[in-house]
Amino acid sequence: MSGLAPELEKLLVLQEREQRQMRLNKELGAWPNELKALEQKRAEVRAGAERKRLEAQNAEVERKKLELEAESHRAKVARYKVQQFETRKNEEFTALGTEIQREEKEVQEIEDRELDLMALGEKAKKDAAVEAEGAKVKEGELALKEEELKKKKTELETRLADLMKEIETLASGVEEGLLTKYRRIMANKKDVAVVSVEHGTNCGGCHMKLTQGSAIAAKSGKAGATCENCGRLLFWPVS
């Protein structure tokens, strides 16, 4: 930046540091969302493992229900057989025999369903165990990522604190009126306040053509030269 007015040199250094500050602030601003995404992933992992555990649990609950239902039908069979043994009436004996057959058929169907559920339950248990182990591994990976994120945040905060001290020192070395103007432009434009003249005729900020007076003022090294279109401060690039 040799050949530039000292005040412009100071402003350009200050601007570079403040742009760096904006980037750091942007990274820090993204940190909560990154952490939230990790938490969401952790919740999904846990939910997946819990679903598999509940599938295995529900299969066992249903199997026990069927077991109780089968026992109820077996009890009826036993009762009907006692009644059949005690009766002296042929019609009642036949009717009880029909009931016994019906109850035994119910028992058989329930036992078949129970076997199917046992197979499903065993598979669900194995799947749940695999899912739980996978979740443990994934949670470990997520914990490492979370630690990396926290470390990154601490590093960013340290760099930002150091940078802000440097910015404060640099700003104190700029003439007050020019600094106020620079600050006003930065607050308005949100990107850069000091730009070079492009091709000797255009503003490096808005890219509009400059008036001859603005271009001459910038070329002469005047610290307060501005673009009449966007208001940014201008400097003439040093070849």
Q: How confident is the model at residue 239 (pLDDT cuts 50, 70, 90)?
A: low
What pLDDT, on a 0 to 100 scale, did the predictor assign at position 61?
Answer: 92
The CATH classification number of 21-173 equals 1.10.287.1490
- Res 15 pLDDT > 70: yes
Q: Summarize the confidence of residues 49-65 as an average pLDDT.
A: 91
Q: How confident is the model at residue 1 (pLDDT cuts 50, 70, 90)?
A: very low
Q: How confident is the model at residue 218 (pLDDT cuts 50, 70, 90)?
A: very high
Please name the helix (run of DSSP H) or strand (run of DSSP E) that holds residue 44, with its range, or none.
helix 6-86
Q: Which long-range contacts (CB under 8 A, 24 or more apart) does 118-127 make?
A: 118/63, 120/59, 121/56, 121/59, 121/60, 121/63, 124/52, 124/55, 124/56, 124/59, 125/56, 127/52, 127/55, 127/56
- Decide if 56 contacts 128 (C-beta within 8 A): yes
What pLDDT, on a 0 to 100 scale, did the predictor assign at position 4?
Answer: 75
Question: Strand, helix or coil at 148?
Answer: helix
What pLDDT, on a 0 to 100 scale, did the predictor assign at position 2?
Answer: 40
- Res 64 pLDDT > 50: yes
For residue range 67-103, what is the model confidence (pLDDT) as tens digits? 999 999 999 999 999 999 898 899 999 999 999 999 9
- Res 56 pLDDT > 60: yes
- Res 3 pLDDT > 60: no
For residue range 154-207, what is the model confidence (pLDDT) as tens digits? 999 999 999 999 999 999 999 999 999 999 999 999 899 999 999 999 999 999
- Domain positions in the chain: 21-173, 175-239
